[in-house]
Structure 1
Amino acid sequence: MVAIYPINLDGVEVRRSGKCLLGPLDLTLAPEGFTIVMGPNGAGKSTLLKTLHGMERVRGGTRTWAVPETEALKRQAFVFQTPVVMRRTVLDNVAYPLTLRGLSKREAQAAAQGWLSVVGLSKAAAQRASDLSGGERQKMALARALITEPEVLLLDEPCANLDGQATREIESLLLDAHKNGMRIVMATHDHGQARRLASEVLFLHKGKLLEQTPAPQFFETPQTPEAKAFIAGDIVA
């Protein structure tokens, strides 16, 4: 099977209500790595992730994968900052993507039970998903994304509203997935988390990609004044 990456954005622009939210932007993401997307609030991090996942309509430029777009989108998964919770049990929430793909309810639930074990939610399988804590909801959302065994996992600040323990658990799950060959692209505002996880950093400001560099280089010798200010904790104008 041909890998869906690299993905190329060439002169891509995303506009809404006449306002340019992203771009023009050129970006190539290699088949391997743990990419962290950083930048101040409003920099375009979420918009970039949604663009990579095909959720944003490109108004200018081109977005291409190594395979046709319809195939590429089936082989990716997305985890939002605030997890989508359906009015079902935890087990059925996690099984849902497989039922959409034609698996029987029994097969999908068996696979879901396995993933709930992986993320530490086995005992919550029969609970209503809406009764989970914030950290538990995010682990459920991660299990629901991983159950389809995507080649690429995109995450939009998945730990932004979690405590330290839940963040540690989510990071451990992501590192395990990455070690098993999954390509990960994740936005975060947390410098410590970025240093722990990233192999490369994309730094955005005002919808522009200012830096794409290996993580150690980004944090030790940032190339732009905006990145230097951001790392120093200063306001990025």
Structure 2
Amino acid sequence: MPSFHNGAVEIAYLDEGEGDPIVLVHGFASSKNVNWVYPAWVSELKKDGRRVIALDNRGHGDSVKLYDASQYDIAMMANDVLALLDHLDLERADVMGYSLGSRMTAVLALSQPRRLRSAILGGIGIGMIEGGGPGENVAAALEAPSLEAVTDPVGRTFRAFADQTRSDRRALAACLRGSRRLMTADEAAGIAVPVLIAVGTADEIAGSAQALGKIIPGSEVLDIPHRDHMRAVGDKVYKAGVLDFLSRQD
């Protein structure tokens, strides 16, 4: 698996296929494989004639594990994506995130609009601005001695997911505490690249996609029917909507 360094931080990534490049940025406690390879996103996008690049965020997957929350500032994490574009000599790419990855993508869309042909924000709605979702309850669940010791239902969900993906739970707790800065409504309103917001209609973590869509100028909203935060990722409606959106970008 190839990797590169952004400063002292080693980031693992995959780079497959040929065509217009798209960078995939996974969610909290996930990885490039769990979020994008296993649900067939990489194969579907390659089949659509695209070069598919996906990284493991710092603290996740095969990338370096850091235990200082200050090393997970959301802008710092977003900069890892920018550094990957630079490493691959890519001037511009579509970028699709999911959940935490979408918050990173939104930071890039705002700060580096010339580098993004479009931004796809999966698994995040108005929660990007208003908060909600995993908080200190999840960090505590990740640090608990066992899943059985966790009583908070949201904490249990994320702890079980972290155990299933064999993640470094201490690194994830640091990531959660360090990456929680929200985007303001004024910042979101300043995003000028084409945006697709895709959220499951049963997602209780992301917040309203429609509410976020009203703030980001010209954005499109895709409802993923009957899917919650965890199960929306591989949905065929999500995939079809993304491929349609990408086909309409210049």
Q: Which has the higher strand share?
A: 1
TM-score (norm 2): 0.31
Greater length-normalized contact order (CA 8 Å, ≥ 6 residues apart): 1
Q: Calculate the TM-score normalised by the size of structure 1.
A: 0.32
